[in-house]
Amino acid sequence: IVMTQSPLSLPVTPGEPASISCRSSQSLLHSNGYNYLHWYLQKPGQSPQLLIYLGSNRASGVPDRFSGSGSGTDFTLKISRVEAEDVGVYYCMQVLQIPTYSFGQGTELEIK
Amino acid sequence: EVQLVESGGGLVQPGQSLRLSCTAAGFTFGDYAVHWVRQAPGKGLEWVGFIRSKTYGGTTEYAASVKGRFAISRDDSNSIAYLQMNSLKTEDTAFYYCIRGFAVAGTYSLDYWGQGTLVTVSS
């Protein structure tokens, strides 16, 4: 399954909203009703951290300005009001098919 | 606090072997799967493989790029997972992360990541 993110670079003014798109080459909607799609943020110099799991569920400790939506092949990560600490590279990841879990190319968010 | 610490990285020549360790703390290690993901310097993320918990058979799965060369194992009594890497190639050069795999809704959420260890394959 090929994961395609857009844009690849996203300059944002603090306090403004931001949106990242992730499209999969196959539907990630499982027969159980869950979308097998996660979102991660890799801050500069750090390992990735889980933001959103199963398409729309915020991970523990993740601020509510982050939200995930979408179903099937089209997904979106939204940040309602970008803060300076949100800089880094955002990745979507599909966990539908073992052993071919795969990530998007990454979207680099920078502050204007 | 959940912690995963990788160790064992370093510089090796093509064709050689290396074993990475992932030492866990702060949770019941045996109840979770362990995944490995790698990242070539300055590049994106690539899933390498994982080992299920004993509850789910303790079996392993691997990406096509490493299948037959890499092997994942676990020692639940000491909360350690291993990534044995054989016949290393220059394209295996990367930071290697171990990640806790939380079983949810029939799949896994890779929820806690270690800090990574760098493996460099070069002559």
Query: Tens digit of pLDDT for each residue in A60-107?
Result: 999 999 999 999 999 999 999 999 999 999 999 999 988 889 999 999
Query: Tens digit of pLDDT for each residue in B65-76?
Result: 999 999 999 999
3-state secondary structure at position A96: coil
Cβ contacts of A38 on chain B, cutoff 8 Å? 109-110
Phi (first) and psi of residue B31, to 5 degrees: -85, -5
Q: Are B4 and B23 in contact (CB under 8 A)?
A: yes
Size of chain B, expressed as the number of residues it contains: 123
From the list B63, B97, B105, which residue is nearest A99 (CB)? B63
Query: Tens digit of pLDDT for each residue in A93-104?
Result: 999 988 889 999
Cβ–Cβ pairs < 8 A, chains A and B: 68
The answer to whether B113 contacts A48, with C-beta atoms less than 8 Å apart, is yes
